[in-house]
Amino acid sequence: MPYYLKCHFDPRFDPARLRPKELEDGSVDHYDLGYVQNVVMGEVIAELTELSDPDSDPGLDRKFVFEKKVFPAGPNTVVNPENDSQLLAGANGLVFMDAAGEIVVNQRITLNSDVDFHTGNIFFVGDLVVRGSLRSGFQVRAKNLLVRDLIEGAEVQSMQLLSCPGGVKGGSVASLKAGKSMKLGFAENAMLNAAENILIEKNAFHCKVYAGQKLAVKGRLIGGLYYGYQLVYVGEQLGGGMSAATQIIVGFDPQLLFEDQRMNEQLEGVQQRILQYQRQLERTPDAEEDLGPKLAKAEKKMTALTERKAAIWGKISATERLKNALVVCPGEVMPGVEISIGTSYLHINDYLKNVRFRLKDGEIVTESPALRK
């Protein structure tokens, strides 16, 4: 009895021949090219069904007709132990049919080009290596992500590790998030957020950084806002004169501060809208029927945001770790740098070298040398 292989993915999928998806209105989406056919561990990826008469359908692709009930099973696939007519994905990854006709699930993708209009956005449940750059305006999400060249103004998220030896030139729009740690060659004008540690091999300029545990910048850190829960380490130079505002904050949970920052941005938007509705109502009282409900909704949202913000600050205070919070700089510290440890604040007025900052009796003290055995 012959069998027909029904694939629950496109077996003819060729990533080298991607085309933008055409929408119903005739337009095309250049960002959605379907670069990856994701599958999840345990997902049915193919089925074998009995064929009573394979010759009865002349349109049947013989490539998918098998004489025996045996799957062309490749790596990371497994026959369902409860139903031998089904082939399952043995891991999260990308499913495809290789040149030999085997069904394969790859847990890792290596992209030899940039992420750009040739690939579209990439959302992958496995590990992704990009040998090129991530171009501005594109989104990438993967389990672990390695980008060899540059990350531009892209939106990037890894569930675990994010590494980019080529560095980040964010153009003030790049957003990088890592579920665990992040390692970058350098970073400029970008938002970085990692649940654990962030290591920057060279310089960090004008960034907003949230490191859930430690932040280390081996080179210069100039301009921007930098949060580390336990430690901020700067190897060569901290701050860059009075013109580049540089703020370092340690001791509070950066993830909660990130959430607070998000609330602030939303609050600002809602407040502006409330003001706008109120002014419009003053000018045209007849618009009450239209604007009244909008105003009420915006005011309700503002109350909810304010309450949420208060709750976040309750958590921030309850989880502060001030005792061992440190800012360490074996290099130079320039005047103008602002350092906060918890609610204590220090404005650096003098040029300093090889120092560390910690909290003592509620005040930030400066000690030298920076590194101790």
Partner 1 sequence: MEGIEIKIESNCLLVICRGEITIEVTGEMRQTVEDNLHSQTFEALVLDLSGVRFMDSSGIGSLVALNSKIKSSGKDFYILSPSDQVRKTLELVQLLSFFHIVDTKEELELLLPE
Long-range contacts of 191-196 (CB under 8 A, 24+ apart): 192/168, 193/254, 193/255, 193/258, 194/162, 195/255
CB closer to partner 1, 14 vs 82: 82
- What 8-state DSSP symbol labels residue 102? -
Q: Does 29 bind partner 1 (CB under 8 A)?
A: yes
Alpha helix (H) residue ranges in 185-287? 254-283
CB of 293 to partner 1, least distance (A): 10
Identify the residue among 301, 338, 365, 367 touching partner 1 (CB under 8 A).
301
Identify the residue among 3, 5, 11, 39 touching partner 1 (CB under 8 A).
39
Binding mask 131-160 for partner 1 (x = CB under 8 A): --------x-x-x---------------x-
Cα dihedral sign, 278-279-282-283: negative
Contact 182, 225 (CB under 8 A): no
Identify the residue among 41, 51, 173, 322 touching partner 1 (CB under 8 A).
41
Of 9, 15, 11, give the one whose Cα is nearest residue 119: 15
Q: In b/e form, how buried is each residue of 332-343, taking b as 16+ CB within 10 angstroms?
A: bbbebbebbbbe
Q: Does 297 bind partner 1 (CB under 8 A)?
A: yes
d(CA 198, CA 180): 9
DSSP string, 10-51: -TT--GGG--PEEPTTS-EETT------EE-TT-EEEEEEE-
Binding mask 194-233 for partner 1 (x = CB under 8 A): ----------------------------------------
CB closer to partner 1, 44 vs 346: 44
CB closer to partner 1, 159 vs 322: 159
CB of 39 to partner 1, least distance (A): 6
CB closer to partner 1, 202 vs 309: 309
Contact 212, 254 (CB under 8 A): yes
Half-sphere exposure of 55 (CA within 13 A, CB side): 0
CB of 148 to partner 1, least distance (A): 23
Cα dihedral sign, 310-311-312-313: positive
Q: Does 44 bind partner 1 (CB under 8 A)?
A: yes
CB closer to partner 1, 304 vs 371: 304
Residues engaged in binding partner 1 (CB under 8 A):
8, 23-25, 29, 31-32, 36, 38-44, 88-89, 92, 120-121, 123, 125, 139, 141, 143, 159, 179, 266, 270, 273, 294, 297-298, 301, 304-305, 308
